[in-house]
């Protein structure tokens, strides 16, 4: 299979039913083969029992690890299946034995859940959070970030594509710095895996988290963590169970040596199979081709919106992705969202709470977020723009 818009739309039944889905940064639409794989496993659980279905579909469950490793340029032993991006990220972040005076170096556009975790660790252990400023294009200022490094910097943690905007952070440049100083580097790639080529070796990170339901087009309730082999045994997960570790003697345990130490035993098996199928589906479409299309479509959308009176497009960054954020003067973004929904156009309203520091600069509380995927069309973008033009 190679990329074709019409084939992608045929595999996405809602497109044929007139839905204009521009909320792919919220949750995308699963392609038919992914949906079917989830249904098949759920059906098997009904027919023969949950444990028996797991044993029967073991090869499909194991396939997930190869598919995830290939998607980020890692190895299967470095992958843990986790129920969402936040928990995947948490399992790495809270595995550090934080001590007073440890410094966490991040940027203004980091995801709110990550920020909440930094603050919790700062309060609980006396760690210090250093926030690098943005440069004039809105991406993290790489030189300023380097200047903030001290001999107490314990972790560099960055969001690749922030949740509410077109920005793509220069994660490779920061990776080169992290490696030069020998500082571990955690990347939140929740919005980038499936959207653009992601390669952990090119980025130079040690840990990377992502979710299943967004640009990968997998089922909800799925995600994964990648941890570089050299780091796995240095990180003791915050939670352990009898899948992550073995109870070896009455008072001893042995933690697994692969990344499955970050998993838990019970999980969404149908979702895990579906996520593997979604990753393979995306790979076969050709990530370079689909990424090119996402960039072209989102740029068209920015151009269309910018021509509408009273509309401001807020996206920053030197390089921009498929997430387009805008507002219309005098019109409540939540009303824009609900009016568009009545016309079967899905967008989301992205609140300041999600990237507080980032949006603080924009002086707005909520933005409309239209996030395009490769199966969207120019005609759909025209319809969105016409609907926004008509709103007052």
Ligand X SMILES: Cc1ncc(COP(=O)(O)O)c(C=O)c1O
Minimum distance between the CB of residue 123 and ligand X, rounded to whole angstroms? 21
Minimum distance between the CB of residue 224 and ligand X, rounded to whole angstroms? 10
Instruction: Report if residue 163 touches ligand X, rule: CB under 6 A.
Output: yes
Instruction: Report if residue 134 touches ligand X, rule: CB under 6 A.
Output: no
**Nearest to ligand X of 45, 358 (CB atom):** 358
Minimum distance between the CB of residue 113 and ligand X, rounded to whole angstroms? 6
When computed from its CA atoms, the radius of gyration of the chain, rounded to whole angstroms, is 21
Instruction: Report if residue 268 touches ligand X, rule: CB under 6 A.
Output: no
**Nearest to ligand X of 53, 82 (CB atom):** 82
Instruction: Report if residue 190 touches ligand X, rule: CB under 6 A.
Output: yes
Per CB under 6 A, the list member of 111, 231, 269, 374 interacting with ligand X is 111
Instruction: Report if residue 187 touches ligand X, rule: CB under 6 A.
Output: no
Q: Which stretch binds ligand X (CB under 6 A): 81-89, 145-153, 277-285, 332-340?
A: 81-89
Minimum distance between the CB of residue 347 and ligand X, rounded to whole angstroms? 14
Q: Which stretch binds ligand X (CB under 6 A): 5-13, 187-195, 325-333, 337-345?
A: 187-195
Question: What is the dihedral angle through the alpha carbons of 39, 40, 46, 49, rounded to the nearest 10 degrees?
Answer: -130
Instruction: Report if residue 30 touches ligand X, rule: CB under 6 A.
Output: no
Per CB under 6 A, the list member of 12, 24, 57, 86 interacting with ligand X is 86
Q: Which residues of 311-336 are buried (b: 16+ CB within 10 A; e: fewer)?
A: bebbbbbeebbbbbbbbbeebebeeb
Q: How far apart are CA 26 and CA 350, in angstroms?
A: 10
**Nearest to ligand X of 84, 320 (CB atom):** 84
Please count the other Cβ atoms lying within 10 Å of the Cβ belonging to residue 152.
13
Per CB under 6 A, the list member of 223, 237, 271, 274 interacting with ligand X is 223
Q: Which residues bind ligand X (CB under 6 A)?
A: 84-86, 111, 113, 159, 162-163, 188, 190-191, 211, 223
């Amino acid at each position: 299979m190679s990329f074709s818009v019409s084939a992608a739309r045929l595999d996405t039944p809602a497109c044929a039913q007139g839905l204009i889905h521009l909320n792919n940064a919220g949750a995308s639409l699963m392609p038919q083969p992914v949906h079917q794989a989830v249904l098949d496993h759920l059906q098997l659980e009904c027919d023969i029992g949950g444990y028996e279905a797991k044993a029967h579909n073991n090869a499909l469950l194991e396939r997930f690890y190869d598919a995830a490793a290939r998607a980020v340029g890692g190895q299967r032993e470095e992958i843990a299946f986790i129920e969402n991006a936040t928990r995947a990220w948490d399992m790495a972040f809270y595995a550090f034995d934080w001590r007073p005076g440890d410094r966490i170096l991040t940027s203004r556009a980091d995801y709110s859940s990550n920020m909440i975790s930094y603050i919790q660790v700062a309060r609980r252990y006396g760690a210090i959070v250093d926030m690098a400023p943005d440069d004039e294009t809105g991406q993290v200022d790489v030189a300023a970030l380097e200047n903030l490094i001290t001999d107490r910097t314990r972790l560099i943690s960055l969001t690749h594509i922030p949740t509410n905007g077109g920005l793509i952070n220069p994660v490779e440049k920061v990776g080169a710095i992290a490696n030069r100083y020998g500082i571990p580097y955690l990347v939140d790639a929740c919005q980038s895996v499936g959207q653009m080529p992601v390669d952990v070796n090119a980025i130079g990170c040690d840990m990377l988290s992502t979710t299943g339901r967004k640009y990968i087009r997998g089922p909800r309730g799925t995600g994964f963590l990648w941890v570089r082999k050299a780091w796995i045994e240095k990180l003791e997960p915050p939670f352990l169970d009898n899948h992550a570790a073995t109870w070896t003697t009455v008072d001893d345990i042995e933690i697994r040596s692969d990344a499955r130490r970050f998993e838990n035993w019970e999980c969404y098996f149908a979702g895990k199979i579906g996520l593997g199928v979604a990753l393979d589906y995306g790979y076969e479409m050709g990530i370079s081709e689909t990424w090119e299309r996402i960039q072209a479509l989102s740029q068209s959308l920015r151009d269309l919106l910018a021509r509408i009176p009273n509309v401001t497009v807020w996206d920053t960054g030197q390089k921009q992705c498929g997430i387009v954020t805008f507002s219309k003067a005098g019109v409540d973004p939540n009303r824009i969202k609900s009016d568009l929904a009545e016309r079967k156009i899905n967008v989301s309203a992205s609140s300041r709470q999600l990237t507080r520091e980032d949006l603080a600069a924009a002086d707005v509380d909520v933005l409309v977020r239209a996030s395009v995927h490769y199966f969207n069309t120019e005609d759909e973008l025209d319809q969105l723009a016409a609907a926004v033009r008509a709103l007052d």
